[in-house]
Amino acid sequence: MTTVVVTGAARGLGFCLAEAYLKQGAIVFGLDRLEQTAELSHTYGDRLQALQCDVIDEDQVRRSAGVVARTTGTVDLLINNAAIYLDDPLTRANEFDADIARRTFDVNAVGPLLMTKHFLALVLAGSGKKIVNISSEAGSISQNWRSHEYAYCMSKAALNMQSVILQRRVKNDGVKVLAIQPGWMRTAMGGMDADFDPSESASGIVDVIARNSDINGPMYLDYAGNACEW
């Protein structure tokens, strides 16, 4: 049975990705700060395990990896989805705020690095061999159109760099790394004016992950499978 780990699984895109894989019959470890992903176990029983995990707390990340190691022993797919957006695009009041930049970088870029650090051995032991970082168009140096939102954009650009380096690191182990743009979604982060529901993006992303296993193939893709420019 496929084992999937999703961070930030209690709501938004993370919740929809967790549910999409549960519907496919996978075992899903939903990591979130308050173990609210447990709600899904009412429908999916033991195949969903909610683990309390703040991705910037290395002890919690290590402990979560330990639980997964003792439960399934392997991970087929790690999805680093958890992220924050603290910029204020309307007032731009804090656009050069160092604390906002550091906190955002910590969750959006260092968090995935810690997750990969502690889950990589489980991914290497699995047969799916995929690590997915949920990125954004905001992280593209060539496509980004903004004149503010430094913190979020810088953090996602760093995540893209992390994805590229990681792909080289695990290439000979047969692990495929993807950086996926989910599109503009109606979530707490995206707001209600966004283009579509996170469930639509999740179903596209599940398909993109399934169709892109070639280590030498494109790795920065949108939810519909279109290649993105770094």
**Positions that interact with ligand NAP (CB under 6 A):** 7-8, 10-14, 32-34, 54-56, 81-84, 107, 111, 134, 136, 182, 184-185, 187-190, 194, 198
Q: Which of 8, 107, 118 is nearest to 53 (CA)?
A: 8
| SS3 state at 49 | strand
Q: How far is the CB of 229 from ligand NAP (least distance, A)?
A: 16
Spatial distance between the Cα atoms of 182 and 133, rounded to a whole number of angstroms = 10
- For ligand NAP, the closer of residues 35 and 124 by Cβ is 35
Residue with tokens 């997964």: 68
8 Å CB contact between 46 and 23: no
8 Å CB contact between 134 and 107: no
Q: Which residue is nearest to ligand NAP (CB)?
A: 12
Q: How far is the CB of 16 from ligand NAP (least distance, A)?
A: 8
- For ligand NAP, the closer of residues 8 and 204 by Cβ is 8
Q: Phi/psi at 220 (nearest 5 deg)?
A: -110, 105
Spatial distance between the Cα atoms of 143 and 180, rounded to a whole number of angstroms = 14
| SS3 state at 51 | strand
Beta-strand ranges (E) seen in the chain are 3-7, 27-32, 48-52, 77-80, 130-134, 176-181, 220-222
Spatial distance between the Cα atoms of 13 and 15, rounded to a whole number of angstroms = 5
Q: How far is the CB of 174 from ligand NAP (least distance, A)?
A: 25
- For ligand NAP, the closer of residues 97 and 200 by Cβ is 200
